[in-house]
Structures are given as structure tokens and as C-alpha cells.
Amino acid sequence: MARPVTLFTGQWADLPLSTMAEKAKAFGYDGIELACWGDHFEVSRGHDPAYCTTRREILAQHGLQCFAISNHLVGQAICDNIDERHKAILPDYIWGDGDPEGVRRRAAEEMKATARAAATLGVKVVNGFTGSSIWHLLYSFPPVSAAQIDRGFQDFAERWNPILDEFDRCGVRFALEVHPTEIAFDIASAERALEAIGRREAFGFNYDPSHLGYQNVDYVKFIEKFGDRIYHVHMKDVWWSPVPTEAGVFGGHTNFGDRRRTWDFRSIGRGRVDFEEIIRALNSVGYEGPLSIEWEDMGMDREAGAAEAAAYVKKVDFKPSTVAFDAAFSE
């Protein structure tokens, strides 16, 4: 095994951390990526070293490590056009009275607190989302002006640079999961997001091929292009249809698991992502961090899927060579 294999707890937040840790160990994982919802990691308590010690102790009881925490839900609200959907995913103290700008500002302060909490816990990476004020302009009709898109990236920079200042002070990095609905959702928009914040080192990516493959984005090239900005890796699979379907890439307002869809998330090894090429690319850019399973498959039991996923990733992962195979023939 070249890298630790961890399990992201975001899809398991209905279980207490102690139960989740016991299961993760039984499934074959080396560690856990703690979600900042449920009782897994509470940012509001993360300033307290004693609280962080309790999290570490629960993991240690099961022989598990923690390399990153994730605060996707709060991050989503920082740049988004806020509506009733956000109330369902945010803590009450972030939602408050629901005034959109107030929600954004409280979410930004919570993300700063997440950086401080990560430092107290002793991890160097916070994964998450940014939200986007311009996602709704994706399909350009009525025609969208270049100035409108420029303003969206400017809004992202204005809201996130003060947050990233706090990440710098804490010695922690933020890793955006490049994903539809975020300021960066493919290679082109990821490059533009980096440019918007001056390519500062506090901001990088949580690489997840499942959000790229069905869009027809070259998910291996993403690694090659942004190798020095990949601060964390999610191993998640996706299936997309090789033939036309009833609900296309935009989803047709169908739910995950609907057989009419062009694409759907699958348990790793059961979709169309080429994970061997991903491992080779990660090796080539020198990524040595964890490989974290984000398990999502509407058609499969999650415990069976999580255990199978751990074994799959440990099988597909390998260390890079330290010697050329034909070195023995050189003089």
C-alpha cells in the first residue's frame, strides 16, 4: 500500500462518530476524513484542545488516523445565491434570519473558525465547497456578458481572500472539491479560480474524478495540470451512458438512482473511471496524501459498498518506481 485509505464520513453523519469509527476499521480503512456535521466534528467546539483530543481518542481506539476535515455545507453558502435550500444544510446559527448577505458573512466566519479548528485538531487540510454566484449563468441564454462572469470570479476572490488569510495564519490549506455548482467545476474554471485569488498557496483542490468524467473533462489531465495544487484526493466512481438517454448531462430534474439518467455515482470499481491511470498520474506529480473514499451509490448497500471500496483502492494503489526497469542494461 502506497498511501493510507480513508473514509469520508459525510454520507454517514446519521451515525455517531464512535459507531462510524468502529465500522470504518471493520471495513478495512486506515483512517477517517471527518465531516463537520453530525457529531463527527463540531467547528463550534473545535477551538477547545480537550474536545479535539476526544475526537483523536475515538479514532485511536480503533487504530484510525485523521488527515483532513471537511466543511462542504457551510462553504457552499459563502458565494451562493442563498435560498430555502441552504436552510436545510446549514446550522441554525449560520442560517439565522435567512438574510442572504448575513448567511454568507456568517458562513465565511465559520470557515475561518474551521481553519482554526483544523489547526487545533492537528490536520493541515480542510476540504469543502465555495459556492458560486454565477453557476446559474452556466448555459448562456439569454447571452451572458463577459463582465457578468468577471464579477462572479471577483466576488469569489473578495469573499475568499480574507478566509484564506486565516488559513495562512493557521498553517492550514483549503482544498476545493471541483464540482458543479462551485466556482470551479472543470479544468478551465479551476484555472480561472486560481488566477482570481492570485494563485496563493492556501487554496488548492480536493481532487474527485467523479465530478469530471461525466462532463467529458479529462480527469487525468487535471492531475497533470494542477499537481502542485492537489491537497487531498477523493476516490469516487461515476457511470455515464455510452448511448443517448432520456435525461442528459444536466439531469432532467431527475433524482440520483433514476434509470433514465445519463450519469450516476457508483461504488468505486463499478463505474467508468480509470483509477489505475489516476494512480499513475498521482505518482507522477508526487502526491503522497490519503486516498479518501467518498461512497455514494443509490443502488448498493452502503456497508457492503464501503468495505468493497476499501479493498479495491488498496489493490489499485501502488508506489512509483524508484529505478528504471532497464537500468540494469546501462553502463
Give the model's pLDDT for residue 267. 96
Find the CATH number of the domain harbouring 33. Answer: 3.20.20.150
Helices 302-316 & 17-27 angle (0-180, nearest 10): 50
Of the pLDDT bands very low, low, confident and very high (cuts 50, 70, 90), residue 326 is low
Task: Encode pLDDT of 8-62 as tens digits.
Answer: 999 999 999 999 999 999 999 999 999 999 999 999 999 999 999 999 999 999 9
Q: Pairing mode, if any, of strands 68-70 and 31-35?
A: parallel
pTM of the shown model:
0.96
Q: Which residues contact 128 (CB under 8 A, 6 or more apart)?
A: 70, 71, 72, 74, 75, 111, 114, 174, 175, 176, 177, 206
Task: Encode pLDDT of 59-90 as tens digits.
Answer: 999 999 999 999 999 999 999 999 999 999 99
Q: Which residues contact 191 (CB under 8 A, 6 or more apart)?
A: 225
Q: How many domains does the chain have?
A: 1
- What share of the chain in percent tops pLDDT 90? 95
Of the pLDDT bands very low, low, confident and very high (cuts 50, 70, 90), residue 324 is low
Of the pLDDT bands very low, low, confident and very high (cuts 50, 70, 90), residue 140 is confident
Mean pLDDT of the chain: 96
Closest C-alpha among 239, 237, 184 to residue 206 = 184
Nearest-10 Cα torsion for 184, 189, 191, 196: -80
- Domain span including residue 171: 5-329
Phi-psi region of 141 (alpha: psi -120 to 50; beta: other; left: phi over 0): beta
- Considering only the C-alpha atoms of the chain, give the largest distance between any 2 of them, rounded to a whole number of Å: 74
Give the model's pLDDT for residue 320. 85
